[in-house]
């Protein structure tokens, strides 16, 4: 990968934390505590990851049906900072933090008017849709995602730099 | 439909309103209004229908994977009488009200300590799991279900009698 | 209410069936049958009703917290025509079909590229958020909604005309 | 942490992995990949935590309404080992791993016929239901939970020993 100039890197920063999916909080997201139920944040994060892949040209519906490729959540770590309330408008970002042979790590944030509500690291495993066994990420997809991950870190130096969300 | 004797009516009551599935109301079922969110009742009803079919020897997971038979909801009518609250224990019944060539009608109730909270008529269409096109209910399943529907109405005389929930 | 001219009525038609809320179908909406799970359509319809009320200046979060007004689903009838699939983009409309003293009836549709997937009549009851007992729709809200319902039917003649979805 | 004797370890096993909540996997839990959608595991874990508190005499509905005490999820870490499928029967355990001044840590597992499907550490923060601000766990509840946590670790020596799930 060619080394990005500083100007290019600067231009990419907003890209990295860009809201990819946004929603109003509806009754169905809330619970009797008056706040958004905690597992709904994982649902919101799924939407943002799907939109990120879609924006790169990967339709996960087609991938599953035609190429038998599923990305299943392998692990998730999520921290809750402030609760979202009914009728709030929230935004969700997804940044590709690491591309492995058979796994992808996303760093995600849920915000409301720029204020952080929740953040998480979501690791996906690539599996065969028919057997549900782990498989390598198809090479065409992997190359495209590696390029994206590298461009976001502004570094060609490899693994540690590619996972800023873990530091 | 012939008029049921009192003895027949009495015999049908426990069968007809038998709770097939029961749950505590957890936070995930409630919304910011402090009550169970309305679409959760449809989820609860699905659980009771599944248990009814399971109790008759039909495993809907196997039916889908091995015989490519799906029962999809074709229409639903639901009335809400009283709200369920956090930590309530509720029961859900499912009675087979009609067996058609390609459709099944269930009459369902959600109760709390015998008090009616919600009731609904749920019509399922039998479809091929690969094409999602309507197909006839497989004959082995249909015969078993017809027998059940007949036994619940206390009559072997056929279709109109088989749908007491609609009268 | 003044009688609408034909031109005004014509101008309002698209308004009546206008998509108020749209979403991509994500994995969380689907089930193992490969289609959107039936109760999710009720969730989608809730979003469109909320957007309709919001577009009229009613924030249901504020209504609940400050004026103790909740709109709870009182009954629902829903018909499913075609299944939505993973990654489909669907639109949801909400038309106010009837305004009663303590109830509102909405006629709603879920479409994909103009093709009807599901339709439903959803009746809401106005309740006090503290007691969950039925109350009259607050007069300011009722007048605004009656005006909307009347304008949609292009008629000032009352109840039957105000509920075209029921005919 | 002091090394547990074999007898102590043996005594802890059944307690630690006791299933508190069990369910069949219904269509509503699955997604188009044919497996249980990942955020549903958090829902299942919520059910088991509620049952654990309930078994100790704490009704979280009453706590919220009468004492204005909410336990909100503060952070969650979850690992997925194997997918659950439609119609599987799964069990969910919840073990209190740590009792802090204002937080509780639960170690939870989802199993199918003894086989581990998912495990997680869920940290709850105690908040005031009216302000959603952090508060200390009410002393009566805290003492009871500390006793439980101590009994599970086989040690009365305090904090570090109280969190075996973290080692």
Has residue C149 got a pLDDT over 50? yes
**For range C139-159, the mean pLDDT:** 71
Q: Enumerate neighbours of B (3 or more CB pairs within 8 A).
A: A, C, D
CA distance linking residue C80 with residue B103, whole number of Å: 13
Q: Report the percent of chain A where pLDDT is more than 70.
A: 80
Q: What is the mean pLDDT of residues C25-53?
A: 97
Q: What is the pLDDT of residue C128?
A: 95
The answer to which of A20-29, C117-126, D130-139, D143-152 has the lowest mean pLDDT is D143-152
Catalytic residue status for B79 = no
Mean per-residue pLDDT over chain D, rounded: 84
Round to whole Å and give the CA distance between D127 and B27: 15
Which of A5-19, A85-99, B136-150 shows the lowest mean pLDDT across its residues? A5-19
Q: Is the pLDDT of residue A4 over 60?
A: no
Look at residues D26, D28, B73 and name the one whose alpha carbon lies nearest to residue C76: B73
User: How many helices and strands (H and E) does chain C possess?
Assistant: 4, 5
Cβ contact A49:A97 at 8 Å: no
Q: Is the pLDDT of residue D161 over 50?
A: no
Q: Are D120 and D97 in contact (CB under 8 A)?
A: no
Report residue B154's pLDDT band, with 50, 70 and 90 as the boundaries. low
- Give the tens place of pLDDT for each residue, A95-140: 999 999 999 999 999 999 999 999 999 999 999 999 999 999 998 8
Mean pLDDT on A130-151: 89
Strand order in the sheet with B19-24: B19-24, B89-99, B103-112, B115-128, B69-80, C69-80, C115-128, C103-112, C89-99, C19-24
Query: How many Å apart are CA B61 and CA A73, to the nearest integer?
Result: 22
Cα angle value A18/C50/A36 (rounded, 5°): 55
C148 and chain B: CB distance < 8 Å anywhere? no
D130 touches chain B (CB under 8 A): no
pLDDT higher than threshold 50 for residue A68: yes
Average pLDDT, integer, range C66-75: 94
Chain A residue closest in CA terms to C58? A87
Average the pLDDT over each of B62-66, C5-9, C153-157 and give the range with the smallest value: C5-9
Q: What is the pLDDT of residue D158?
A: 36
Within 13 Å of residue D75, how many CA atoms lie on the same side as its CB?
10
Whether the CB-CB separation of C87 and C35 falls below 8 Å is answered with no
**What band does D140 get if pLDDT is binned at 50, 70 and 90?**
confident
Q: C73 pLDDT exceeds 80?
A: yes
Band the pLDDT of D55: cuts 50, 70, 90. very high
Over its C-alpha atoms, chain C yields an Rg (Å, rounded) of: 17
CA distance C17 to C51: 14
Q: Which residues pair with A93 in a beta bridge?
A: A19, A109
Whether D153 has a pLDDT exceeding 90, the answer reads no
pLDDT (mean) for B20-41: 96
Nearest to B90 by CA among B81, B98, B99: B81
pLDDT of A15 > 90? The answer is: no
What does the pLDDT read at residue B7?
43
Q: How far apart are CA A150 and CA A137, in angstroms?
A: 17
List chain A residues with CB under 8 Å of D42. 38-39, 42
What is the pLDDT at residue C154?
A: 53
Residue of D31, D43, D59, D128 marked catalytic? D31
Asked if the Cβ–Cβ distance from D38 to A72 is below 8 Å, we say: yes
Structural domains in chain A plus CATH codes: 6-154 (3.10.129.10)
Residues 10-29 of B with CB under 8 A from A: 27-28
Please report the pLDDT score of residue D157 as a whole number.
38
């Amino acid at each position: 990968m060619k080394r990005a100039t500083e100007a290019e890197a600067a231009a990419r920063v907003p890209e990295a934390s860009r809201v990819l999916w946004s929603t109003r909080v509806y009754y169905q997201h809330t619970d009797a505590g008056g706040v958004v139920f905690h597992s709904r944040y994982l649902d919101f994060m799924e939407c943002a990851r799907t939109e990120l892949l879609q924006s790169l040209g990967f339709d996960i519906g087609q991938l599953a049906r035609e190429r038998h490729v599923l990305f299943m959540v392998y692990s998730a770590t999520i921290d809750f900072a402030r609760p979202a309330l009914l009728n709030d408008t929230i935004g969700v970002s997804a940044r590709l933090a690491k591309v492995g042979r058979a796994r992808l790590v996303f760093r995600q944030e849920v915000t409301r008017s720029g204020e952080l509500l929740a953040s998480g690291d979501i690791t996906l495993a690539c599996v065969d849709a028919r057997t549900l066994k782990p498989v390598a990420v198809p090479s065409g997809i992997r190359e495209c995602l590696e390029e994206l991950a590298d461009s976001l870190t502004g570094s060609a130096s490899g693994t540690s730099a590619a996972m800023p969300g873990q530091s």
